[in-house]
Amino acid sequence: METRSNHVLVGTVTLLLLAAIIAAAFWFSRISDGENKQFDIFFKQSVNGLAKGSSVNYSGVPSGQVEKIELWKRDPSFVRVRISVKDGTPVLQGTTATIAGVGFTGVSEIVLDGAVKGAPPIQCPTENPLSACPDGIPVIPTKPGALGELLNNAPQLLERITTLTERLTELLSDKNQNSIAGILANVERVSGALADRSPEIAATLAEARIAVQRTGVAVEQIGKLAATTNTLLNDQGVPLMADLRKTVQSANRSIDTLDKTIGEAQPGVKAFSNQTMPEVNQLVRDLREMSRAFRGVAEKLDQQGAGSLVGSPKLPDYKP
């Protein structure tokens, strides 16, 4: 009877100790949960290698773990991953989440990075919180990782590889190989011809180098000439232009004066044309008649002498 009571006592004490241990573990887990913050991450890509309890690193520093992975009920094309991170982790605006593989084990983890210094923490807004936090938990935006991009683009990459393989097969057909062999033979002949003409090519290059040097000298001389011309224009052209401007102004003044003089002389010119010119014409006619008369007198003096001016000319004697 006494032995049975001792077993009962030992069993009771053991049960109490187990209950105390469970309570303590539950208590400590509640305390640790109180020090952590939860965030939701919505992945459009596959989350292969990620499981409940997978680690969460912030720029390589262990900061939490994955608590839940499930398809989002509102949109099954998204995978909702709920993580729990330590209270001191700087999950600020600009922080993004990616899935990264851990070595070659096939296990993946969530990597957080990209926080901006001085930015506010990611949290649900006070006004219309469901717009930014659909499930009441702050959301960390995602950034495609290298593995995710590779998996998402794998079908397109395989299609391109298949197309490239088909084109390479067509390119390396027997007909094209013969053509390529002919092209290589032609290239070899051209290379041999160029090798035979290498002295001439070297001489041509030397002449071209000399021509380029002469061109450089000519360009330098042209630059000097342009500088000299600019100096000459600045030193002499400006005064010359000033004198020319003065001359043009003087000519304009002279033309204005001449216009005024002509305008003032127009009445006299009209009077000269209407009165004096007829008299001058009559005088010219009189002078012309006088000249004819003097010419007749001169001819008579030459032919008949001075007596012809006094008497009439003698008649010729009559002879029977």
pLDDT tens across 262-315, in order?
666 666 656 656 666 676 677 667 777 777 766 776 676 666 655 555 455 554
Q: Output phi, psi for 247, to 5 deg.
A: -60, -45
236 vs 242: CA distance, rounded Å: 10
- The answer to whether position 10 is within a domain reads no
pLDDT at 297: 63
- The answer to whether position 125 is within a domain reads yes
pLDDT at 71: 93
- What is the band of 207 on the pLDDT scale with cuts at 50, 70, 90? confident
- The answer to whether position 151 is within a domain reads no
Residue 280 contacts by C-beta under 8 Å, 6 or more apart in sequence?
A: none
- The answer to whether position 136 is within a domain reads yes
- Of 78, 110, 144, which residue sits at a domain end? 144
C-alpha R_g of the chain: 61
How would you label 212-231 residue by residue, b for 16+ Cβ within 10 Å and e otherwise? Answer: eeeeeeeeeeeeeeeeeeee
Q: Are residues 66 and 127 in the same domain?
A: yes
Q: Are residues 178 and 117 in the same domain?
A: no
Number of domains in the chain: 2
Q: Are residues 82 and 168 in the same domain?
A: no
pLDDT at 57: 92
Residue-number span of the structural domain to which 173 is assigned: 156-195
Q: pLDDT (tens digit, 9 = 90+) per residue, 65-104?
A: 999 999 998 898 999 999 999 988 888 988 999 988 876 6
Q: Are residues 114 and 162 in the same domain?
A: no
Q: Using alpha carbons, list the distances in angstroms from residue 205 to 70, 199, 208, 213, 217.
A: 74, 10, 5, 12, 18
Q: Are residues 191 and 135 in the same domain?
A: no
Q: Are residues 127 and 42 in the same domain?
A: yes
- Average pLDDT rounded to a whole number, residues 122-147: 82
pLDDT at 257: 74
- The answer to whether position 104 is within a domain reads yes
Supply the pTM of this predicted model.
0.41
Q: pLDDT (tens digit, 9 = 90+) per residue, 226-261?
A: 777 677 666 666 676 777 677 777 777 777 776 776
pLDDT at 66: 94
Q: Are residues 36 and 139 in the same domain?
A: yes
pLDDT at 16: 80
- The answer to whether position 76 is within a domain reads yes
